[in-house]
């Protein structure tokens, strides 16, 4: 991009170095704490941009195609060396094009990353609604299997004769509910015995982890809640 220049001091021929006055640290410091001085400092720095000889730091550089430079060059350089300089100049142009490509690719990747990150974070937001679904799923798995309810019902009916007139086995929110209607003549000892039968049968047929609500009714009211 920059022209080939000749240093009037040391005779260097090539691309100059970009030099700028001031200090990047001071510039950052001013920007961080005092916006206006930072701005002024930045403007002053960028206006001070100038080209210097990379070899000796001399500011007096003249274009290669100027008569003075041509004279200097012809005196000091062979034809071969001149061709080399021209070759370098062309390579430098190619390099700038490559660098522009790299920058564009970099910007493209950066934008892509931002899109990916934002899509991931929006997915996370969506996934926050998932737990309610999984809770519903786990509630379904908390339900006592109908076969277990049926087996318990059959078992309790098998025990019924001489003890109770009716058995109702059901469930609510994953809890077992058993109602046994004991014969009106059953005394407390008998009812305690029924409780044991209910508990044994329920633990045998109902998978563990479900609350067991076992009630013995007598004469239309709860005679005992077996726990
Ligand atoms: Zn120089």
**148 in the same domain as 87:** no
pLDDT the model gives residue 78: 66
In a domain, 33, yes or no: yes
Q: What would the pLDDT profile of 1-25 be if each residue is shown by its tens digit?
A: 457 888 888 878 888 888 888 888 8
Whether residues 10 and 81 fall in one domain: yes
Per the CB < 8 A criterion, the answer to whether 202 and 152 are in contact is yes
Q: Per the domain annotation, does 120 fall within a domain?
A: no
Residue 57 lies in a domain: yes
Residue 53 Cα to ligand 1 middle (Å): 5
* pLDDT tens string 145-204: 999 999 989 998 998 988 899 999 999 888 989 998 999 888 989 989 988 998 999 999
DSSP state of 54: T
Tell me how far the alpha carbon of residue 61 lies from the centroid of ligand 1, in angstroms.
Answer: 8
| Token pair 């996934």: residue | 127
Residue 129 within a domain: no
Does residue 52 belong to any structural domain of this protein?
Answer: yes
In a domain, 155, yes or no: yes
Report every protein residue that has its C-beta within 5 angstroms of ion ligand 1.
7, 9-10, 12, 53, 55-56, 58
Task: Read off the pLDDT of residues 148-161 as tens digits, 9 standing for 90 and up.
Answer: 999 989 998 998 98
96 alpha carbon to ligand 1 midpoint, in Å? 24
**Average pLDDT in the chain:** 82
Give the model's pLDDT for residue 131: 52
In CATH, what number is assigned to the domain containing residue 161? 3.30.70
The reported pTM is 0.40
Domain count, the chain: 2
User: Is residue 125 one of the residues assigned to a domain?
Assistant: no
Dist. CA 20 → ligand 1 center (Å):
17
**Residue where a domain stops, chosen among 92, 115, 131:** 92
138 pLDDT more than 60? no
Decide which of 33, 66, 92 is a domain's last residue.
92
pLDDT tens digits, residue range 62-75? Answer: 888 888 887 777 77
What does the angle CA 110 – CA 111 – CA 116 come to, to the nearest 5 degrees? 95
Size of the chain in residues: 227
Predicted confidence (pLDDT) at residue 86 exceeds the cutoff of 60: yes
Q: Which helix (H) or strand (E) holds 85?
A: helix 79-127
What domain range includes position 51?
5-92
Is pLDDT of 133 > 60? no
Q: Are residues 216 and 157 in the same domain?
A: yes
Say how far apart CA 122 and CA 129 lie, in whole Å. Answer: 12
Find the 44 Cα to ligand 1 centroid distance in Å.
25
| Residue 207 forms part of a structural domain | yes
Please tell me the distance between residue 89's alpha carbon and the centre of ligand 1 in angstroms. 18
Closest of 163, 215, 154 to residue 189, by C-alpha: 163
């Amino acid at each position: 991009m920059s022209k080939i220049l000749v240093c009037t001091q040391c005779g260097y021929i090539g691309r100059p170095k970009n030099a700028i006055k001031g200090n990047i640290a001071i510039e950052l410091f001013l920007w961080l704490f005092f916006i206006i001085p930072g701005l002024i400092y930045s403007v002053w720095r960028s206006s001070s941009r100038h080209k210097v000889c990379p070899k000796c730091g001399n500011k007096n550089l003249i274009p290669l195609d100027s008569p003075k430079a041509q004279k200097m060059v012809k005196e000091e350089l062979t034809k071969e060396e001149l061709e080399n300089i021209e070759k370098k100049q062309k390579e430098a142009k190619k390099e700038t094009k490559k660098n522009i490509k790299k920058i564009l690719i970099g910007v493209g990747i950066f934008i892509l990353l931002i899109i990916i990150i934002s899509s991931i974070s929006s997915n996370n937001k969506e996934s926050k609604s998932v737990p309610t679904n999984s809770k519903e799923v786990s509630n379904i798995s908390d339900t006592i299997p109908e076969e277990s309810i049926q087996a318990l019902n059959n078992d309790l009916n098998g025990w019924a004769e001489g003890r109770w007139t009716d058995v109702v086995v059901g469930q609510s929110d994953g809890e077992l509910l058993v109602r046994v209607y004991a014969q009106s003549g059953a005394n407390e000892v008998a009812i305690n015995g029924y409780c044991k039968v209910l508990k044994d049968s329920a633990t045998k047929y109902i998978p563990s982890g479900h609350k067991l609500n076992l009630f013995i009714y007598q004469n239309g009211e709860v005679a005992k809640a077996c726990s």
